[in-house]
Structure 1
Amino acid sequence: MSLSKEQKSILITGGAGFIGSNFVHHWSNHYPDDNVIVLDALTYAGNRQNLVDLEDRQNFKFIQGDICDRPLIDKLLKEENITTLAHFAAESHVDRSILGPDAFIQTNVIGTFTLLESFRHYWNEQGKPEDYRFLHVSTDEVYGSLEADDPAFSETTPYAPNSPYSASKAGSDHLARAYFHTYNVPTIITNCSNNYGPYHFPEKLIPLMCINILLGKPLPVYGDGQNIRDWLYVGDHCSALETVINKGKPGETYNIGGNNEVKNIDLVTLLCNLMDELAPDLPVKPAKELITFVKDRPGHDRRYAIDATKIKTELGWTPQETVENGLRKTIEWYLNNQDWWQHLLSKEYQDYYQKVYG
């Protein structure tokens, strides 16, 4: 038996991470009657503080645990009567995958396999209800790199991952697809472009630049700064995922993009200009004087771009934020939540920073 459409029980893996915690807030605010269960291993990028304002909700539950723990997953699905599994849990930083690929294979491939197997057996035991969903959240990096005049990635673009991270995500995508075609498990895959917004761990480009500007530290830009990314505000991503869960078709893939292609150097320059405007008493002003070009990382994809035509035409979703508006919101969040990021600048983080940027 499935729950009524008025009430879902949703299990969100990786819900204490960046995109996951934003999605937990989004779902909890839009569906306050739903039971929301978060599973997170609380590795370096998972932060319980991201969810602190939800802890008192009667229908919110947090479990610290590993997605590779099959008995735990089996228990959660049954005890919580899960109707939707939204799978965000992943190792997700390319630089870290170059330094140590093992964790990426374990979490992204083995972890996803464990979740799929558990969900398959649970779904079968429930009588294969049509309204259950397994949402697998992935990345545009599985498609590889684009040249300047290549068409944007579509759902039919061949996979060509170029880093251990993107290869591990490609493997997990293939598993999710196979479980639909082999077992009819109601999986849906989404591949998104680069996200940014609140709760973003400071190793990633935009929070790294915001924090370094506030600290008066150099702003490391890889290579010539001409690498292009399609930037998607995390709030837009969350609304797209909600749309996919409610309207998407099992077995399908939906690409989610922000329609905002920007060169890295242009993005950093825009960030500097906005920080000059919004942040009082910066140690170095104008902030763009801190821009420092560093050695390019191995296998650095030149350009990503998402063709989001399918989700627009089939499901009616489009992004709402421009890069400038989204960056303004993001900077204001980091300025207003300095306690959140200051304690993340640990010795482990500093050691990692030195390995990557020197």
Structure 2
Amino acid sequence: MKFAKIAAALGLAGLAVSGIAHAQSALVKVDGSSTVYPITEAVAEDFQKEKKNAIKVTVGISGTGGGFKKFCRGETDVSNASRPILKKEMDACKELGIAYYELPIAYDALTVIVNPQNNFIKNMTVAELKAIWEPAAQGKITNWNQVNPAYPDVPLKLYGPGADSGTFDYFTEAVVGKAKSSRGDYTASEDDNVLVQGVSRDKGGLGYFGYAYYIENQKKLKAVSIDNGKGGVLPSPETVENGSYAPLSRPIFIYVNAKSLEKPEVKEFVEFYLKNAPKLVKEVKYVALPGKVYEANRERLAKKKAGTVFGGTEAVGMKIEELIKREAQL
């Protein structure tokens, strides 16, 4: 897993995952979530090897929101998303006649992290996280002892995703209570590697991002267990699967442009994605969905069942079993 490629993807959107797209090659364009990027990158690499680079796949990182802006303008074939499509994005797609298939591909444990030298934080309540991140905390909660008197007088430095990130949307809704409601005085980046570096170098640092980035950098970071009223729970595949890591477990998706799917290269890529997702999702340290979900995705494409089952709202606290029931409604 090459997370360092993300920096290249941010600045070199025209590059394919493994080289420059040749004019004679068929091309599949993907953009969106940095959380979903490691899965799609792994799929794209294996797909291109199988096709001997006859089909090129470009994978950009504009964040979930930024990705949907491009997707709903018809600029991309596939959009990586760490949350469901929102009402305004549904409207934007509808306005330009963009129909789409919503395909859940994994579960993520959104992970709160601190510097490994932080020896006073092991467990945090959702209420503490809200006190830190809500807009009213801006300029006021600047030291750890202001969060909890039991914590030392150490400067609190915050790192988190930018406003175009689906992770930002999910975290703010799950923790603060309203999507995009957050203090603004923190180091923000759509590139999770920037957040990794920030917290790893700052003894008073606190941040959050997808589980795979924590696993990839766990020697530099410490995960915080989250207490949602039943005691602290650390993120792991097991706690995601059993539903105990709440409210920061979430489904993550790809969205496929229905018209693009009529192109052979896009159809082949998406079919390859769904076939190989269970293995590659685990390889990049996310939680694979039950096999019947990937099969349901294939049936959805075969029956041309476009649209979303979320109605333009977030999926905070949704367990895997609930996702399966919801997806069956389309």
Whether these two folds match at TM > 0.5 is no
Report the structure, 1 or 2, having the larger helix content. Answer: 1
**Higher RCO (C-alpha under 8 Å, 6+ residues apart):** 2
TM-score, L = length of structure 2: 0.31
TM-score, L = length of structure 1: 0.29
